[in-house]
């Protein structure tokens, strides 16, 4: 039976990866910081699927803890066939508004952990002549939206490079570049995204399903949905001054302003209704 190791596996895309992989018969190694939540997720998956689920409570930004996952990926007795580097989080505020220590910790998770774990997994998988690495990046990597976007740009380029180096070894590397996905990501970063239209969002099950299909095919880039593939291509070929103007770190402040304006308009429309209509809204 195949085994997958998933980081950031207690919420969002990581949680969905765990469930879908278990549903296709994969044993799991789940990695996350919150031990209680990690064990609860593992128990829920075991109750539904006949698979083995290991748990590794690890903070990937801590080099010593990261080494535990690195060692697990090189285990010759219970090898890992698929590595999903999913762990990540956002920071609220501009580059200068956030302490540099917080930026360093975030980049340790978003970049160093991906580098270290991909290196360990790839070397071991190449020896066995099979395996796959799936690195969760983002279309934000094509923008200029601060350190997070820069780190995702690195993940995409790194994965493309790794895929070429692994060509012919029986091992593949895929970068998943989703757009906006309905998960806890923005809520946990205390970021309100109410200003985005509903059509912008993708559902986590769909994103994960497409990513696993593309990984199985050995695709280097996985961009779910036609709208985001189109947006990705436009971002890649657009003049950089235009990209900077449209996706600078100030984009979130503009989004917040639109969100406030929409809320004001909705409140204004409610106040214009007849009294009995406003009563219906409250029931």
Residue 258 lies in a domain: no
Catalytic residue among 148, 206, 228, 252: 148
Residue 267 lies in a domain: no
Residue 264 lies in a domain: no
Residue 260 lies in a domain: no
279 to 264, 270, 273, 274: CA distances (angstroms)? 19, 10, 10, 9
Query: How high is the pLDDT of residue 254?
Result: 56
In this structure, the dihedral spanned by the alpha carbons of residues 4, 7, 10 and 15, taken in order and rounded to 10 degrees, is -50
How many domains does the structure of the chain reveal? 1
Query: How high is the pLDDT of residue 66?
Result: 98
Query: How high is the pLDDT of residue 269?
Result: 62
Quote the domain boundaries for residue 201.
3-249
Confirm if 4 and 30 have CB atoms less than 8 A apart. no
Query: How high is the pLDDT of residue 280?
Result: 47
Residue found by looking up tokens 């939206």 in the block: 145
Q: At what angle do helices 146-165 and 113-128 cross, to 10 degrees?
A: 10
Is residue 148 part of the annotated active site? The answer reads yes
94-119 tens-digit pLDDT: 899 999 999 999 999 999 999 999 99
Residue 148 lies in a domain: yes
Residue 243 lies in a domain: yes
The CATH number of whichever domain residue 95 belongs to comes to 3.40.50.720
Q: How far apart, in whole angstroms, are the C-alpha atoms of residue 198 and residue 156?
A: 26
For the chain, list residues with pLDDT below 70.
Answer: 180-201, 225-237, 246-283
Residue 216 lies in a domain: yes
pTM, to two decimals: 0.81
Query: How high is the pLDDT of residue 189?
Result: 40
DSSP codes, 236-267 = HHS-HHHHHHHHSTTHHHHHHHHHHHHHHHHH
Residue 268 lies in a domain: no
Query: How high is the pLDDT of residue 92?
Result: 85
């Amino acid at each position: 039976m195949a085994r997958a190791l998933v980081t950031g596996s207690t919420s969002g895309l990581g949680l969905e990866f765990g469930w879908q992989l278990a549903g296709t018969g994969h044993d799991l190694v789940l990695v996350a910081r919150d031990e209680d939540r990690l064990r609860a997720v593992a128990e829920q998956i075991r109750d539904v699927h006949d698979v083995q689920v290991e748990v590794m409570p690890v903070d990937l930004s801590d080099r010593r803890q990261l080494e535990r996952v690195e060692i697990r990926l090189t285990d010759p007795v219970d090898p890992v066939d698929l590595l999903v580097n999913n762990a990540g989080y956002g920071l609220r505020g501009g580059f200068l508004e956030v302490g540099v220590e917080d930026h360093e910790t975030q980049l340790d998770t978003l970049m160093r952990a991906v580098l270290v774990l991909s290196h360990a997994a790839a070397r071991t998988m190449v020896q066995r002549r099979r395996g796959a690495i799936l690195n969760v990046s983002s279309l934000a990597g094509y923008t200029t939206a601060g350190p997070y976007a820069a780190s995702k740009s690195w993940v995409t380029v790194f994965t493309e490079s790794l895929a070429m180096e692994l060509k012919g070894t029986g091992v593949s590397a895929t970068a998943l570049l989703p757009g906006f996905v309905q998960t806890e990501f923005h809520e946990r970063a205390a970021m309100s995204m109410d200003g985005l239209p509903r059509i912008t969002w993708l559902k986590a099950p769909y994103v994960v399903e497409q990513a696993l299909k593309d990984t199985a095919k050995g695709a280097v880039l996985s961009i779910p949905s036609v709208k985001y593939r189109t947006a990705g291509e436009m971002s890649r070929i657009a003049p950089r001054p235009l990209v900077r103007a449209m996706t600078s770190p100030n984009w979130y402040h503009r989004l917040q302003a639109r969100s406030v304006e929409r809320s004001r308009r909705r409140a204004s429309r409610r106040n214009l209704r007849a009294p009995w209509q406003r009563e219906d809204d409250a029931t």
